[in-house]
Amino acid sequence: MTIKKRRKLIITIVCLILFILLFVTYIYLIIPLHGRESELSLYEFDKDLQFCEKYGFNIDITGEEYKILYLSDLHYLGLAIYDSKIDKNVKALVKKEAPDLIVLLGDQTSSPFNEKVYRHCVSLFDSFELPWALVFGNHDDDWHADKAYLSLMLRKSKYLLYLDGPNIGGLGNYFINFRYQEKPIHTLYLMDSDDNGVSLISKFDWKFAKHRLEIEVDRELLDWYEWAVAGNNTSSTIATHIPLLEYEIAYDNAEQNDTVLRGLRRERNDSYEVNIGLFDKITALKSTKAVIAGHNHKNDFAVIYQDVQLMHCVTSGFTTDGVDGIHGGTVSIINKDGTTTFDNVYYD
């Protein structure tokens, strides 16, 4: 074989290997791991469904107060070299704050290795031997494993308070009811801000994606929220990933009147462009006193708008955009009378 022919053969083999590698990567990233829907614990919801405690969790407050640590946008990559910094800071914050419950506000990951990250989350947050809860963000199921698959993985946790929720679109709509001396005093509603099962490609433009949603899905979420509020009959907090549209005007007003409670808006709130009417429902029902969201990594503000505290949780991860020194979480105290306070906490 001449040198020229040998070189050609080597180039062909290298190209072939590269092609196979790229193809395998493509298959891994693009073909998602689907959870079996039949294994989800979704329940049939309609407005006439009789309310029952099994649709949520009960927690009895035994001390003077109950402390929740919210963490948001951890954005684990699934690569130890990057993730160890998040672990180290989360562990230190949990130790310092000594919460009774930890709530993850979505975008635990945006990595192709999302199922690996979820396995890591189960192991890390179970290691605190505390109850923890979560909502999905818009990026958790960007790659590989879908939410149904992640939901099945979450069942391996010993301490996680999580339910798939009603069959109304989205996954992980549920509530935690806090009781003092057996009397319900406050409820935390965990809501999936969802991407409504849009395709992987359109998800990269999630504003476009939202336009594709069937409005009926959102109406059902509002119906579910109203049904749950009537059933629980307490003051409440909503924990979700994407901020409501009203965050923007609420901050504008507070900034003008110099009434921002804490933190700053360092970037425009990336809310969905279609208003699903959740805020109007909140003000009409008068149960929810606070909404806490993640999603905008640079924002950590809280303002009062129409008697409702709208706030961003301090972002907790380091692998995407953020602001140096503005990383940590948000702490909430539930008092014995069901009132709540919130404050931002930052990593040391």
Nearest distance from C-beta of residue 314 to Fe ion, angstroms: 13
Q: Return the number of the residue (108 or 344) whose C-beta is nearest Fe ion.
A: 108
Q: Return the number of the residue (83 or 100) whose C-beta is nearest Fe ion.
A: 83
Site string for Fe ion, 243-282 (x = CB under 5 A): ----------------------------------------
Count residues contacting Fe ion (CB under 5 A)?
A: 2
Nearest distance from C-beta of residue 37 to Fe ion, angstroms: 26
Nearest distance from C-beta of residue 234 to Fe ion, angstroms: 30
Nearest distance from C-beta of residue 254 to Fe ion, angstroms: 23
Nearest distance from C-beta of residue 115 to Fe ion, angstroms: 18
Nearest distance from C-beta of residue 72 to Fe ion, angstroms: 8
| Interface with Fe ion in residues 91-120 (CB under 5 A) | 107
CA 229 to centroid of chain Cα atoms: 21
Region of 105 on the Ramachandran plot (φ > 0 left; ψ -120 to 50 alpha; else beta) = alpha
Contact 331, 69 (CB under 8 A): yes
Q: Return the number of the residue (25 or 320) whose C-beta is nearest Fe ion.
A: 320
Q: Return the number of the residue (109 or 236) whose C-beta is nearest Fe ion.
A: 109
Say how far apart CA 91 and CA 45 lie, in whole Å: 38
Q: Return the number of the residue (105 or 188) whose C-beta is nearest Fe ion.
A: 105
Say how far apart CA 300 and CA 131 lie, in whole Å: 25
| Interface with Fe ion in residues 48-87 (CB under 5 A) | 73
In single-letter form, the type of residue at position 204 comes to F
Q: Where are the beta strands (DSSP E) in 2-141?
A: 56-61, 65-71, 101-104, 132-134
Which residue, chain included where needed, has tokens 């307490």? Answer: 234
Q: Return the number of the residue (73 or 142) whose C-beta is nearest Fe ion.
A: 73
Say how far apart CA 278 and CA 292 lie, in whole Å: 13
Q: What residues are paired with 287 via a beta bridge?
A: none
Q: Return the number of the residue (149 or 318) whose C-beta is nearest Fe ion.
A: 318
Nearest distance from C-beta of residue 117 to Fe ion, angstroms: 13
CA 55 to centroid of chain Cα atoms: 19
The residue of the chain with the least Cβ separation from Fe ion equals 107
Say how far apart CA 276 and CA 222 lie, in whole Å: 8
Q: How far is CA 4 from CA 1, 9, 10, 13, 16, in A?
A: 8, 9, 10, 14, 18
| Contact set with Fe ion (CB under 5 A) | 73, 107
